[in-house]
């Protein structure tokens, strides 16, 4: 464990290294539970850092577009920053306005990406792990109930980073947790990810309105630029004159994953042909938000002096569907007192 710098309010951030015997390694800080670096081998065996981010805590505190962090209490958007639960209407911060339409995004002004997590490193037979815990207070960011959250990162022997989420509450509340890593499998700082070949195990997606809020339908991807059931490069169809791509400036959509049975199952695979790096994403979640980094503006000075261009990284945010608290036909996200939320996602690396 090393220091990752001090926040403006004098809090010392810690950086933990989790690794296996192959040299696959993740560096994670207790501020926002952020994956700061993730080193995976290419076809020739060279390790490269495949996630976007900043060299120091200051970058994350100042201006991060959610690089690498834990997202909560509710990931993605909630229409108009409002939902009703058990007859009571809750009003949340409207901290985002795509298309000029205000909404709540990623848990609010100070979501789980900006809080300090209690960190407990451990090692087991697989490799290194880090257990992070946070208690979100009743009323925090407008949400009901004291929520105990635990997020466990584990580096395993097969070059995977496994993330286990758990949560318990003392009042019914919506919960939808994810990780917001931006990947570039050619290495952070490499050109846009348009040449990465993506496969998504999803026959349907949830189209959005101009404010990037799901319209409510779960629509087949067949004959659309959203059909990634067979591999397509991210860039192949991204600039087609399609209303959905226009609203988001590219891909920024929730895909409804096929055939889940409770165990982590393949949601996505991504191959970067030059390096040969292959990322497989497995999850127990029903959805994945595929975001092609359209809002990166080429203005952020990231790690190693790299300026990240538009679409310089992609996210695969495994989660329940956006705006679920307002969408009766989506899988429910309400956690009840006495129940425990369990969710697992695995980011596994190999080469081709
Ligand atoms: C959202 C994007 C948003 C980004 C924030 C993604 O999860 O889908 O619309 O801009 O997070 O960096």
Smallest CA-to-CA distance from 238 within 204, 270, 194 is with 194
Q: Output the CA 295–ligand 1 centroid distance in Å.
A: 8
Confidence of residue 260 (pLDDT cuts 50, 70, 90): confident
Report pLDDT digits (tens) over 136-190.
Answer: 999 999 999 999 999 999 999 999 999 999 999 999 999 999 999 999 999 999 9
> Residue range 239-264: average pLDDT?
95
In the block, which residue shows the tokens 């990634």?
228
At 12, list the tokens: 């010392």
In percent, the amount of the chain with pLDDT more than 70 equals 100
Cβ atoms of 161 and 39 within 8 Å: the answer is no
Report pLDDT digits (tens) over 17-60.
Answer: 999 999 999 999 999 999 999 999 999 999 999 999 999 999 99
At residue 124, the pLDDT reads 87
Closest atom of ligand 1 relative to the 248 alpha carbon = 9
3 state DSSP class of 245: helix
At residue 345, the pLDDT reads 98
Q: Would you say residue 127 has pLDDT above 90?
A: no
At residue 126, the pLDDT reads 82
Cβ atoms of 37 and 54 within 8 Å: the answer is no
The residues annotated with a catalytic role in the active site are 180, 317
In percent, the amount of the chain with pLDDT more than 90 equals 96
At residue 58, the pLDDT reads 96
Average pLDDT, the chain: 97
Q: Output the CA 248–ligand 1 centroid distance in Å.
A: 10
> Residue range 211-222: average pLDDT?
98
Q: Would you say residue 312 has pLDDT above 90?
A: yes
Ligand 1 binding pocket, CB closer than 6 Å: 65-66, 76, 212, 252, 289, 291, 295, 317
> Residue range 3-16: average pLDDT?
96
At residue 145, the pLDDT reads 98
H helices of 214-324, in order, are 243-248
Report pLDDT digits (tens) over 218-235.
Answer: 999 999 999 999 999 999
H helices of the chain, in order, are 57-63, 243-248
Residue nearest to atom 10 of ligand 1 (CA): 295
Which residues, in sequence order, are CB contacts of 324 under 8 Å at separation 6+?
Answer: 74, 174, 176, 330, 331, 332, 333
Ligand 1 mutation target, pool 291, 293, 302, 313, most atoms within 8 A of CB: 291
At residue 241, the pLDDT reads 97
Q: Contacts for 129-134 with beta carbons within 8 Å, 24 or more apart?
A: 129/18, 129/153, 129/154, 129/155, 130/16, 130/18, 130/28, 130/154, 132/30, 132/33, 132/70
Give the integer Cα–Cα distance in Å for 246 and 149: 36
Confidence of residue 247 (pLDDT cuts 50, 70, 90): very high
Domain 2-351 carries which CATH code?
A: 2.70.98.10
At residue 262, the pLDDT reads 87
Q: Would you say residue 298 has pLDDT above 90?
A: no
Q: Output the CA 70–ligand 1 centroid distance in Å.
A: 13
Q: Output the CA 177–ligand 1 centroid distance in Å.
A: 14
Residue nearest to atom 7 of ligand 1 (CA): 76
Which residues, in sequence order, are CB contacts of 58 under 8 Å at separation 6+?
Answer: 5
Residue nearest to atom 12 of ligand 1 (CA): 65
At residue 50, the pLDDT reads 99
Give the integer Cα–Cα distance in Å for 111 and 48: 30
At residue 105, the pLDDT reads 98
Cβ atoms of 127 and 157 within 8 Å: the answer is yes
Confidence of residue 259 (pLDDT cuts 50, 70, 90): confident
Residue nearest to atom 9 of ligand 1 (CA): 252
Q: Which of 122-131, 219-228, 334-343 has the lowest mean pLDDT?
A: 122-131
Ligand 1 mutation target, pool 212, 252, 299, 313, most atoms within 8 A of CB: 252
Residue nearest to atom 8 of ligand 1 (CA): 252
Does the predicted TM-score (pTM) go above 0.85?
Answer: yes
Ligand 1 mutation target, pool 63, 106, 107, 317, most atoms within 8 A of CB: 106
Q: Output the CA 252–ligand 1 centroid distance in Å.
A: 7
């Amino acid at each position: 464990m090393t220091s990752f710098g001090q926040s403006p309010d004098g809090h010392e951030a810690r950086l933990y290294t989790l690794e296996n015997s192959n040299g696959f390694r993740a560096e994670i800080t207790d501020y926002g539970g952020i994956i700061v670096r993730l080193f995976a081998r290419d076809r020739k065996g060279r390790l490269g850092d495949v996630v976007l981010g900043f060299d120091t805590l200051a970058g994350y505190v100042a201006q991060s577009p959610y690089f690498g962090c834990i997202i909560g209490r509710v990931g993605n958007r909630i229409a108009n920053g409002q939902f009703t639960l058990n007859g009571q209407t809750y009003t949340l911060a409207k901290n985002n306005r795509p298309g000029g339409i205000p909404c709540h995004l990623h848990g609010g002004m100070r979501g789980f990406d900006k809080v300090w997590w209690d960190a407990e490193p451990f090692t087991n037979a697989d490799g290194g792990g880090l257990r992070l815990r946070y208690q979100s207070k009743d009323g925090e960011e407008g949400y009901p109930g004291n929520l105990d959250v635990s997020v466990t990162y584990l580096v395993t022997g097969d070059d995977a980073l496994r993330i286990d989420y758990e949560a318990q509450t003392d009042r019914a509340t919506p919960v939808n947790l994810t990780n917001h890593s931006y990947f570039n499998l050619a290495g952070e700082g490499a050109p846009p990810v348009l040449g990465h070949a993506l496969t998504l195990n999803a026959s349907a997606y949830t189209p959005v309105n101009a404010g990037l809020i799901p319209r409510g339908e779960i629509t087949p991807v067949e004959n659309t630029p959203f059909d990634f059931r067979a591999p397509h490069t991210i860039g192949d169809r991204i600039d087609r004159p399609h209303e959905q791509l226009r609203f988001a400036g590219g891909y920024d959509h929730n895909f409804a994953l096929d055939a889940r049975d409770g165990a982590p199952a393949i949601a996505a695979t991504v191959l970067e042909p030059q390096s040969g790096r292959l990322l497989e994403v497995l999850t127990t979640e029903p959805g994945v938000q595929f975001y092609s980094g359209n809002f990166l503006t080429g203005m952020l000075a990231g790690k190693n002096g790299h300026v990240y261009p538009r679409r310089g990284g992609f996210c695969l945010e495994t989660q329940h569907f956006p705006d679920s608290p307002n969408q009766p036909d989506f899988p429910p996200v309400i956690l009840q007192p006495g129940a425990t939320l369990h969710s697992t996602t695995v980011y596994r690396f190999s080469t081709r």
